[in-house]
Structure 1
């Protein structure tokens, strides 16, 4: 693996965690609002 590939994977993983965290948070709030 080259350095650029490693950094690209880390960046993608970071953004994925951010998006996943926001989606999980919004869905959790949605369920709390429902009930």
Structure 2
């Protein structure tokens, strides 16, 4: 569970970076739903 939580945090951080660069909100939402 701890590893999963950390992975989710990292995924969310990377997701924000990708969203900022590509402005891809759909991908960001999909990643968030997948890991949380």
TM range (shorter): 0.5 to 0.7
Spell out structure 1 runs of 4+ moving beyond 2 A: none
Q: Which residue does 2:3 correspond to in 1?
A: 8
Question: Any unmatched runs of 5+ in structure 2?
Answer: 24-36
Residue 23 of structure 1 aligns to a residue whose secondary structure is helix
- What's the CA shift for 1:27? 1.1
Q: Would you say how many aligned residue pairs link Structure 1 and Structure 2?
A: 23
User: Normalized against structure 2, the TM-score is what?
Assistant: 0.58
Bigger relative contact order (CA 8 A; separation at least 6): 2
